[in-house]
Chain A
């Protein structure tokens, strides 16, 4: 059996899933603190289900969103600093106050991975004591061209850790976007969340060990998958906004639709997402209007409109997630899953381990392209196994190649998603079409 948790404030809400069957309806514990609520919730589940529970996944997205961001030093590596105020990188209002200091370092690479300028490590090392002397323990490093070469980001990170191993460092090449400001924003926000991620991971680890010593603990990600708690300490960004992905996955799980359309109806309106090979269809960026985007693979959930095309050949589920069903759904929608306000918790319980490979490759032709794509698929498979998935229970969900408009000839972007389950957990929640691969 698998448990899905959602943490918020000083509350913990839980659901227990056995296959596709909800064996324990959602129950919520409100306590004096979040650790107390979590411990009380898990304690109750242990008394009721004992060792039958093998997987516990927590959606911590709301806690990450509600906590004050930690202060961050932003290090930007490029050949030259902006010449005027208009050309400065502008951060979204959410994170702008968290950046207490910005440091420019000369360096950066082109799309072929060749240096545009020699990394000015000497100048940075001269500044480093001043950076470390402050109270800020979080650093974000973003370099021009780090999608092609991580060298300058990692050398700056190494220089910092060489002076102080306790600094929390987030480098932008851990997040794929071809836009500098997206990676910069993502690295800064990730860095600002790492302290909270560490606290949450420690809290979940401690409570889990006490109540379910043999259970696997994970956190829910915004792509509809999960990852071990250790990842929450280094990449908490992927735990932000997991709710939409879990809603899609939960409704699809309850309806038994691994490939199809999922319409979620809440008090705020109706939205539509899709599932493919048992997981929500995801995009590599969370777009925020004209502001910088978050470079995190996240489920696509878009507003349902009156112009929404109706397809009879695609399986569809309309889930009513509202707390109260006194009024009809908008657009004349008729729910096929009525009154399932905790569908997202079901999704959290059902989420598989997921891993992404997203990188640039240089190819000479179609045969070479096939070779690097196969290699990326193997790497994605390995990455899922490293997260704890059983080699025999891991499959490729998505494998795509993107041409780079106005790029260097022969350079393509390869993006692959793999998903799997731990060897201990052979329950496949959405087994059908799991081996489907898109190109």
Chain B
């Protein structure tokens, strides 16, 4: 069912996108939310379900791919995504009917709304990750063998490229190299596919989910109540309320193909005496409680301020902070054999098999 989004929806989506990013600095989300709210004063954006499109309508994923300078340090000029869509339309010889998010969390959870406002294209309430992963090959569309290319990229310099590529892994290598040379991020349009393909292989309801999460977290209620409501809505579990006792950077060897360095945080659960270890690389990949795997990517893990119930940024984590460690189960596709092949800890260089695979 389509709906026209309101500024209040954007405020809530901002919070939801941050919650699901597993605690990366949200400044770029804030900046986009502010830009969208200003743009909404004289134009509107429509959120639709994939069912509202004709099966063969052309839809494309839009999102930022980053490796280098932060989006917030090199703000988009504003013409990048429209340039990418035009380039894909020229390459495919067809008009795009709607856009969807490359990843329904963090900056890419909110970017499609600006694209919708600028282009008047509707935004589909679906995405191919159901969260955010660092690699563009880590999508449910990839699991479903939906081609990733052609991919259009445009950076802040105004330089643009269209990559004709079939293999998602090759696409990863090529796009990553281009993004680095474009300055650190690129607006992209990729996974051009039919609405039917997105319906079959996407994760659905993920934009409205962020809005609902924001409604819960921004409500004037106690933290415990918020955690309860999140549990009812998302099936979240609180792994622990614990105090940060140690922070370590470059704590594991890493594949240079993965953006960012790994780091680790150790926490003490002062109620139970348990020791919790978080392994981080862009997001929280792994949670060990007394050495046992309690959450592992593709599970989502986020940190909440134990007093305020607000999302904690990994940049802001300090020794002595008390945080709630919250686990959210990812989309069902990620727990299949092929889903785990793409996203379990081994894909991030951590030699651990996901517990669900062990128990399968």
Contact with A along B55-87 (1 / 0, CB 8 A): 000000000001111101111111100000000
Instruction: Give every chain A residue within 8 A of B79 (Cβ-Cβ).
Output: 83-84
Flag the segment in A174-182, A215-223, A241-249 that touches B: A174-182
Given contacts A79-B183, A406-B282, contact A144 B74 (CB under 8 A): yes
A110: contacting residue among B69, B270, B306, CB under 8 A: B69
Chain B hits for A314, CB < 8 A:
320
Is B35 within 8 A of A87, CB to CB?
Answer: yes
Could you say which interface size class chain B belongs to?
35 or more
A363 touches which of B38, B39, B180, B250 (Cβ 8 Å)? B250
Instruction: Decide: B249 and A80 in contact? CB cutoff 8 A.
Output: no
Q: Within 8 Å of chain A (Cβ to Cβ): is B89?
A: no
CA distance A84 to B75 in the complex (A): 12
A361 to B39, CA, bound (A): 38
B18-57 CB mask vs A (1 if < 8 Å, else 0) is 0000001101001101111011000000000000000000
B75–A79 contact, CB under 8 A?
no
Main secondary structure of the interface of A (DSSP, over half): loop
Provide the B122-142 mask, 1 if CB < 8 A to any CB of A, else 0.
Answer: 000000000000100000000
Q: Which of A180, A307, A405 contacts B74 (CB 8 A)?
A: A180
- Chain A residues within 8 Å of B75, by CB: 78, 82, 87, 89, 180-181
Partner of A181, one of B31, B77, B281: B31
Q: Does B146 contact A (CB under 8 A)?
A: no
Contact size range, A: 35 or more
Give the Cβ gap from B248 to chain A, nearest Cβ, in Å: 8
Cβ distance B80 to chain A, nearest Cβ, rounded Å: 9
Residue-wise interface mask of A (359-375) relative to B, using a CB-CB cutoff of 8 A (1 in contact, 0 not):
00001011001000000
Chain A residue with Cβ nearest B180: A408
What 4 new A-B contacts, CB under 8 Å, besides A144-B69, A405-B260, A406-B134? Answer: A290-B34, A400-B247, A401-B250, A412-B250
List which A291-315 residues lie within 8 A (CB) of chain B: 293, 300, 302, 305, 307-309, 311, 314
A409 in contact with B261 (CB, 8 Å): yes
Cβ–Cβ < 8 Å partners of A93 in chain B: none
Query: Nearest Cβ in chain A — how far from B221, in angstroms?
Result: 12
CB pair A116–B157 under 8 Å, yes or no, is: yes
A45 adjacent to chain B (CB < 8 Å):
no
Name B's interface SS: loop
User: Do B316 and A305 have beta carbons less than 8 Å apart?
Assistant: no
CB distance B33 to A290 under 8 Å?
Answer: yes
Complex Cα distance, B315 from A300, in Å, reads 14
**Given known A179-B27, A281-B318, A290-B34, contact A439–B247 (CB-CB < 8 A):** yes
Asked whether A83 lies within 8 Å of B78 as measured between CB atoms, the reply is yes
Within the complex, which residue of B77, B114, B316, B319 is in contact with A83, where a contact is CB–CB below 8 Å? B77
Q: Does B316 contact A283, Cβ atoms closer than 8 Å?
A: yes
Contact partner of B156 among A80, A84, A89, CB < 8 A?
A80
A144-B73 contact, Cβ under 8 Å, with A86-B39, A406-B282: yes
**Bound Cα distance from A407 to B270, whole angstroms:** 34
Q: How far is the CB of A79 from chain B (nearest CB, A)?
A: 4
CB-based contact A408/B68 at 8 Å: yes
Give the residue among A180, A274, A311, A403 with the most B Cβ atoms within 10 A.
A403
> Quick check: is A81 within 8 A (CB to CB) of the other chain?
yes
Contact, CB under 8 Å: A87 / B77: yes
- A369 and B249 in contact (CB under 8 A), knowing A82-B77, A403-B262? yes
B224 to chain A, nearest CB (A): 8
Let me know if A404 is at the binding interface, CB within 8 A. yes
